[in-house]
Structure 1
Amino acid sequence: MAADLQSSPFIKHLASSDKKTRDQALTSLRTFLRGRSEISELDLLKLWKGLFYCLWMQDKPLHQQRLSQSLASLPSALQSPLILPFLRAFWITIAREWSQIEALRLDKYLYLIRQYVHASFQTLAKDGWKDTLAIEEYGRIVGDTALSGTDMKVPNGLRFHVLDVWVDELERVVGEGEGVWEGKLDILNLVMEPVERLAREGKLKVVRQAAKECLEDERLKAWRGEKDEDEEMEDGEEEEWGGIED
């Protein structure tokens, strides 16, 4: 299986300077992945390096967005045993290559990361969030890479961006409203665990604070049925008011 991957030309072609060649390589890759239930971590990392530079070579914002969306659709084409290893390779690659991203190229990678946070939540939610082992494992993957509080090689810029989009993309998957997590608060807690862990264990105060701000998001409070202190005070005042007596 590893030999098949190494002998396939599409990995090299993913980073071609020619858009047509890159597009053809991505199509070949999609076909290749559909037929595999297992690929070694080393080969997945080689593959993701090719995908990273596939986006690197893409210019024009609209084309960049379309490519990022196409890359983020890859997990949906994978067989179940390969999904989490594929996502792990993505996050390892992003954390490793982040410092190489030039300012002019940063926006397209920020967009790719947002798309992958969304795609990951979509994947975990597709069976009604029933696979708690997969949710826990994904939390460990992100908590050991982009949201690691102890690995000082992980750039803070990556941590901050993932924290910025985490609840946004979760909301896009589950929808708005207070009742969307009714009966599933234990699942919501699992989804938020890598952020909780970063808030507890982050070596840098600025990182811990950013994680705490994410956890204080009003949408999380609404999903959990929590009220702000101001709302509680207002409710209390309303209850105490007895009207004007004659």
Structure 2
Amino acid sequence: MAEDAQSSPFMKHLASSDKDTRDSALASLRAFLSSRSEISELDLLKLWKGLFYCLWMQDKPAQQQALSRSLASLPSSLKPPVVLPFLRAFWATIAREWTNIEALRLDKYLYLIRQYVNASFRYLSQNGWGNAEGLQRHGEIMAEFPLNAQDTKIPNGLRFHVLDVWVDELEKVDGEWGVEKREVLEALCGPVEALAKEGRLKVVRNAAKETLGDGRLRVWRGQEEEGEKGDAEMEDDDEEWGGIED
């Protein structure tokens, strides 16, 4: 598979400006991946390096987004033992390549990351969020790469973007978080909580705290009632400038 990941025609065709060619290549890739019950870590990393540069070569914004959505649909077609290793290879690749992304190309990778945050939640939500082992492993992957609290090699820009989209994408997948799913939600929040407490930089810790302070998340976690203002928001209101006093 290592050679296939770099030289197979569908890798080159995924970057085509022709939609039919791109769709055919994606179908070939999907069939190729879905037929396998196990793929080595090395092969997945080589595959994702190829996919990363397929998106790199895609110029038009509409086609960039279409390709990102197509790539984010891949986990749904994989056999269960392959999904989490596939997601880990994605995050490892993004973390490794982040500093090489030029400013003009950054938006398309930010969009791809958002799509993969969503795709990860969608995978975990299958069967009513009932896969405890999957939740734990997913949390370990997030803590290892995009939400890593200590490793200085993980780009802060990646941390900030994942934190920025985290609640939005969780809400898109499941906006109903009653008491019966509280344990699942706490497991999902674990890496963010760890980053808020153990992040090496104050600005990173504050960003994680801001995510945890999102009113939607606080309501889901039972920390406040819907419509109630959180402490941080109340403090902001208190600090608003009220004009010049006489």
Coarse TM-score class (shorter-chain normalised): 0.7 to 0.9
By how many angstroms is 1:42 displaced?
0.3
Residue of structure 1 in register with 2:43 after alignment = 43
Distance 1:137 1:14, change over 3 A: farther
**Against the structure 1 CA distance between its residues 222 and 116, is the aligned structure 2 distance closer, same or farther, given a 3 Å change threshold?**
same
CA distance in 2: counterparts of 1:141 and 1:38, whole angstroms: 18
Q: Partners of 2:116 and 2:9 in 1: how far apart?
A: 22
TM-score, normalised with respect to structure 2: 0.85
> Contact conserved, 2:10 with 2:25, CA < 8 A, in 1?
yes
In the other structure, the counterpart of 1:167 is 167
State the distance in 1 between where 2:44 and 2:140 align: 18
Q: Equivalents in 1 of 2:166, 2:43: separation in Å? A: 28
1:162-201 equivalences under 5 Å are: 162-175=162-175, 180-201=177-198
Moved more, 43-52 or 206-215: 206-215
Q: How far off is 1:22 after superposition?
A: 5.4
2:12 is aligned with 1:13: yes
The aligned counterpart of 1:147 is 147
C-alpha distance in 1, partners of 2:137/2:10? 27
Q: 2:204 aligns with which of 195, 202, 207?
A: 207
Alpha-carbon contact 2:6-2:46 (below 8 Å) kept = no
Q: How far off is 1:12 after superposition?
A: 5.2
Give the Cα separation in 2 of the matches to 1:194 and 1:7. 33
Give, in whole Å, the separation in 2 of the partners of 1:150 and 1:217.
24
Q: How many residues align?
A: 227
TM-score with structure 1 length normalisation?
0.85
Residues 190-237 of structure 1 show CA distances to partners (whole Å, capped at 9, x for unaligned) of 001110111122111111111111111101111123227x7699xxxx
| Cross-structure match for 1:238 | none
Q: Which residue of 2 aligns with 1:157?
A: 157
Deviation track 1:108-166 (CA, whole Å, cap 9, x = no partner) reads 10000000000100000011000011011001101101111111011111000000000
State the SS of the aligned residue for 2:129. Answer: coil
Mapped partners of 1:6, 1:87: distance in 2:
16
Instruction: Supply the distance in 2 between the matched residues of 1:47 and 1:11 (Cα, whole angstroms).
Output: 11
Question: What corresponds to 2:68 in structure 1?
Answer: 68
Partners of 1:48 and 1:89 within 8 A in 2: yes
Q: Distance in 2 between matches of 1:54 and 1:4?
A: 16
Aligned-partner residue type, residue 53 of structure 1: Y
CA contact (8 A) 2:14 2:26 kept: no
Distance in structure 2 (CA, Å) of the matches to 1:59 and 1:227: 45
Question: How far apart are residue 26 of structure 1 and its match?
Answer: 2.9
Unaligned runs of 5+ in 2: 232-246
Q: Percent identity?
A: 60
Residue matched to 2:130: 130
C-alpha spacing 1:77/1:12, structure 2 compared with 1 (3 Å): closer
Letter in 2 for 1:207: V
Structure possessing the higher radius of gyration over alpha carbons = 1
CA distance in 2, matches of 1:209, 1:39: 38
- Answer yes or no: is 1:216 the counterpart of 2:213: yes
Partner of 2:236: none
Q: Which amino acid aligns with 1:72?
A: A
1:69 aligned partner, one-letter code:
R
- Shift of the 83–125 alpha-carbon distance from structure 1 to 2, 3 Å rule, reads same
